[in-house]
Amino acid sequence: TTPPITVQEGASVELIDVVKDYSGQRALNGVNLSMARGEFVALLGPSGCGKTTALRALSGLEQVTSGSIRINGVDVVGTPVNKRDIGMVFQSYSLFPHMTVTQNVEFGLEMRRVDAASRRRRSAEALDLVGLGQLGGRYAHQLSGGQQQRVALARALVTRPRVLLLDEPLSALDAKVRVQLREEIRKIQTELGITTLFVTHDQEEALAVADRVAVMRAGDIEQIGTPEELYRAPATDFVAEFVGISNRIDGVVSGGSVTVLGHRLPLVRPDVADGPVRVFLRPEDVSLAPAGIPATVVATSFLGSLRRTFVRLDDGAVISVQHAARETTSPGQDVFLALSGSPVTVTTARG
């Protein structure tokens, strides 16, 4: 008999120089990505950058134009979808409406000619895993969106795949359910140790769930790193602006530090050549102060435990400042700013 669903092993995954052309248009421009066994990687990028294409190439739903894809070191480019040992969840719930929850989850096992008793046992186990043990007899239309995605997850996991692919699985859900379900997906993924690729255009979601995030832009991976690395040391302007809210202002590097708004600050990467640069300051690295850099409040938003205030500097640049909610500000007010001593990121020197 099959061991419990929690006893399985994730596979390593490699995309090597993967190119995908759609009738002359290049969707993937030589993508390289290595995932360790059990790793959770988020593929993050704006609409049309090739995230879904990369995921579909890995699954086998899309044939690659060139390059290789390896699962546990074995090239799977010629292997059909159903032989790649991959589970998938998509944005739309894609449950069979005329089947019960249990029948939906058992479907993949039936295709694999698993006997009825084992199907029953394994689907019950998968539904327990996603917290829906009691709802096996319901139909899809009797479930909330979040519950339907849980069923889709159970259906993807019940065949004990070695890789799980999630394509914007939370996009259709409301904000609160999104956050709950992403935490649950992460918990289940950790418990199962299943290698997971999660496609999203939501940077907060990517940073919150993934071990590493691959930022895609126009068919290429621009940077891969842990959430902290991407947030603190983005390699390019694109990554700095796509990941987290950034204040982009001019600075000048000299002698291993950068001067910005009349203050000298340390650099994340001290090996930057002297000269004019773009400096990225996170909102939490700027604060309101009794004296310092003069600015005028443009707008302010209350975020519960904190407030974010947009201010205009003397040179016209608008930046955002994060501060305690009890420090109130109002549009038109003159304030002063202080910069924290945290290292800052600078990117490409201006021409």
Distance in Å, CB of 170 to ligand ATP, minimum: 13
User: Which one of 11, 35, 51, 126 is in contact with ligand ATP (CB under 6 A)?
Assistant: 51
Please pick, from the candidates 11, 40, 53, 205, the single residue that binds ligand ATP as defined by CB under 6 A.
Answer: 53
Strand partners, 250: 278
50 counts as binding ligand ATP under rule CB under 6 A: yes
Nearest to 191 by CA among 1, 2, 4: 4
Q: State which residue, 22 or 96, has the beta carbon closest to ligand ATP.
A: 22
Answer yes or no whether residue 348 interacts with ligand ATP by CB under 6 A: no
Residue 225 as a binder of ligand ATP (CB under 6 A): the answer is no
Tracing tokens 């000298």 back to the chain, one arrives at: 264
Length of the chain: 351
Pattern 247-286, ligand ATP, x by CB under 6 A: ----------------------------------------
DSSP class of residue 3? P
- The structure tokens 């209350």 sit at 302
CA pair distance 287, 322, nearest whole angstrom: 7
Residue from 15, 33, 52, 261 in contact with ligand ATP (CB under 6 A): 52
State the greatest distance between any 2 C-alpha atoms of the chain, in Å, as a whole number: 75
**Window contacting ligand ATP (CB under 6 A); options: 31-39, 47-55, 81-89, 308-316:** 47-55
- Touching ligand ATP, residues 197-216 (CB under 6 A): 201
Bridging pattern class, strands 163-167 and 86-89 = parallel
Contacts of 173 (CB under 8 A, 6+ apart): 145, 146, 149, 181
Structure tokens at 254: 């000299």
Interface positions, 22-41, toward ligand ATP (CB under 6 A): 22, 25, 27
Tokens 């924290």 correspond to what residue? 340
- Applying the rule CB under 6 A, the residues between 126 and 165 that interact with ligand ATP are none
Contact residues for ligand ATP (CB under 6 A)? 22, 25, 27, 45, 47-53, 201
